[in-house]
Amino acid sequence: MKQPRRSGAGGRGNRAKTPARRRPGIAGRLVRTSVTLCGLLLLCGVGLFAYEASKLPTIRSLEIPPRPPNVSVIDNTGAIIATRGEGGTPVKLKNLPPYLPKAFVAIEDRRFYQHFGVDPIGLLRAAFTNARAGSVVQGGSTLTQQLAKNLFLTPERSLERKLQEAILALWLEAKFSKDQILEIYLNRVYFGSGAYGVDAAAQRYFGKPAAHVTLAEAAILAGLVKAPTRLAPTRNRDAAEERAQIVLSAMAQSGFISDADAARALGVAVAVASPRSEGSGGYIADWVMDQLNDLVGAYDRDLIVDTTVDPILQAEAEQALVHRLAASGTKFGVSQGAVVLLDPQGAVKALVGGRSYAQSQFNRAVTARRQPGSAFKPFVYLAALERGYRPSTMVNDAPLNLRGWNPENSDRKYRGAVSLTEALALSINTVSVRLALEVGPQAVVQTAKRLGILSPLQANASIALGTSEVSPLELAGAYAAFANGGYGVLPYVVKRVRRASDGKVLFERQGSGLGLAIGPEQVSMMNGMLSQTLRIGTGRAGSVGDWPAAGKTGTSQEYRDAWFAGFTSHLVGVVWLGNDDNSPTKRASGANLPVEIWSEVMTAAHRGIPIADLPGLIREPLTAEGPPDMTTVDDGRPIQVQPRAASAEPANPLDFFRRLFR
């Protein structure tokens, strides 16, 4: 018997129907898609962030790189000749007027004290402003990001660099307080004109330390950071002042100053310091920097270098060279020159390495090596005197033929028998060559090196005419032995090196030199002979007032170089003129433009100085009636004479360095 079918929920026919699931609407799908995309973007961002972080040095090993040290080069009066380095004196935030750091915060990063190194609000605001303007008119980088870029990154503009900048900014914020970050920033940011740091900028543009700047000046400094070259008040005063107005307005809007303060600052006329030109002092500063590592080793603190330079003589030497070249350089086909002044002990009193340091930093006084021509002849004559010759010794001035080489006199005349004094004063080439052959070219080389010539010298007959190249500085150093009574010197300019922070002396020059290089008798004879150059010889255009002076002209082959090297018992001076490309001049010789410059500088340098004679000066007659040691040369063939013992024991140049670094 069939059971009746149950009714109710269990039956198929009466089973309750489940409500149909609603499919998500468009809005829901958009939300879900957006969340997914944001998650993916966040994941990609984190991955990219981690990847860029992995390319940076380990964060824990990062250190704020030390500020490159500054070096102040000082003359012998204590005045600054020039500075080298990238930063001014480090300043503490607490020592600055409060409105100065606030000016930078107002214009560069108004939310500096609210963000964590990267400012999302600032980024959005900058993006909106730039989109509305249709160009980039506002940046989104915080002060911390700018500092990170300056300390650790290159100026490259790329997305990768911006990410690295953000990572480093976060590290800086985690490691330092806001005030510390702002202080580091102010000491490192670039302000144009070679000024790094707010103190250097204040000195450069207003001639005062940062601690003393006014509100108006602070606004100009803060405005500079955006475009240091374009907005520099020394270049574009109007643009600098317009930018300063924007800074003052931003400070007032931020509540850092009142509207009245801003209005008063706008009404102040800011005095901008004139650019300080290094002039020829730049050559000295560069030379000092070349020596510094050898004198004190590696250094990481600011230094003060006291030099021997006399600022008055430096100015006189620069002015004489520049003015004479301007007046006569074209006439003589000369474009460059160098001047060196030493005291007889080797201290550099003035050094001019070219007619314009701004146009060319190549130091022709120290680095250039040129043929000295007849200015080298004193070493030939000294070698002869040390082997028994005397100023009155007669030598034949006649044509020479040395295996096809025919050295000639500049006037192509021959005088027959002449004394050494007359031959040197008149710069007779044939006599110089004969002497070099008779004493031996190697003896001439040894004599020159004993007096401090360090450049390579070729021991051949032509060395008698100055064909081996030397620098003006080392030629001046070699002539100093005649001026000081026979003691060899090596020129120097650094007197002392001190640490700027505490004055600790790191190097101080002690009395030292090459020792006795010329015997007293030879000094006396050489000074007598060289003084005749200015009396009856090629240097007649040169004089130092009433001061006894001596020297020698020099002209190289084809008039490529023109020299005058001369001295008193007070000062040694060398002048070189020529062209950097070694092209011939228009018959510029040591007897014209160089001796005129030398005379002008030396006369100025001796004003007010008590007159003193040259060491051991005894004036012998220009000719003699055949003394016992007379040597003559017949028909152009040199006669070899037996060298005699020198009256001075040659000093070893290495002794100088041993004493210097003992």
CA 184 to chain centre: 27
In this structure, the number of other CB atoms found within 10 A of the CB of residue 241 comes to 18
For residue 421, give the nearest of 493, 527, 292 by alpha carbon.
527
Do 187 and 95 meet the contact criterion of CB atoms below 8 Å apart?
Answer: no
Structure tokens at 76: 């012998």
Label residues 304-335 b or e (16+ Cβ within 10 Å = b).
bbbbbbbebbbbbbbbbbbebbeebbeebbbb
* Amino acid at the residue 564: F
For residue 293, the number of C-alpha atoms closer than 13 Å in the C-beta half-sphere is 3
**Of residues 317, 310, 221, 313, the one with CA closest to residue 270:** 221
Backbone angles phi, psi at 642, to 5 degrees: -70, 120
Pairing mode, strands 572-578 and 394-397: unpaired
pLDDT of residue 127: 59
pTM of the prediction? 0.72
pLDDT recorded at residue 640: 32
Domain ranges of the chain: 86-266, 314-660
* 86-266 homologous superfamily: Biosynthetic peptidoglycan transglycosylase-like (1.10.3810.10)
- Whole-angstrom distance, CA of residue 570 vs CA of residue 341: 10
> In the prediction, which pLDDT does 344 show?
97
Which residues is 416 bridged to in the sheet? 397
CA distance 647 to 517: 10
Q: How far apart are CA 662 and CA 654, in angstroms?
A: 12
Q: Which residue shows structure tokens 């790094």?
A: 196
| Catalytic annotation, residues | 108, 374
- What pLDDT is attached to residue 31? 64
Q: Give 240's DSSP letter.
A: H
Tokens of 602: 């030396």
pLDDT of amino acid 632? 31
CA angle 585, 590, 593 (to 5 degrees): 70
| Phi, psi at 112, each rounded to 5° | -55, -40
Residue 492, beta-bridge partner list: 347
Q: Where are the alpha helices (DSSP H) in 486-622?
A: 520-535, 593-605
For residue 241, give the amino acid letter: E
655 burial level (CB within 10 Å; 0-12, 13-18, 19+): middle
Q: Return the CATH fold of 314-660.
A: Beta-lactamase (3.40.710)
DSSP one-letter code for 637: B
Question: Could you give the C-alpha distances from 533 to 436, 495, 507, 540, 611, in angstroms and in order?
Answer: 20, 34, 41, 7, 20
Strands 303-307 and 494-499, sheet pairing? antiparallel
Q: What are the mean pLDDT values of the chain's consecutive 10-residue runs (662 residues total)? A: 47 50 64 63 52 49 70 95 79 94 94 86 64 55 87 67 80 90 91 85 92 96 91 90 95 95 92 82 94 89 95 97 96 97 97 94 95 97 97 95 89 94 96 96 97 95 96 98 96 96 93 88 97 94 93 95 97 98 94 96 96 80 37 31 32 38 34
Q: What is the pLDDT of residue 383?
A: 98
Nearest to 379 by CA among 247, 491, 467: 467
Q: DSSP for 95-164?
A: GS-THHHHHHHHHH-TTTTTSSSS-HHHHHHHHHHHHHHTS-------HHHHHHHHHH--S--SHHHHHH
CA–CA gap between residue 106 and residue 507 (Å, rounded): 46
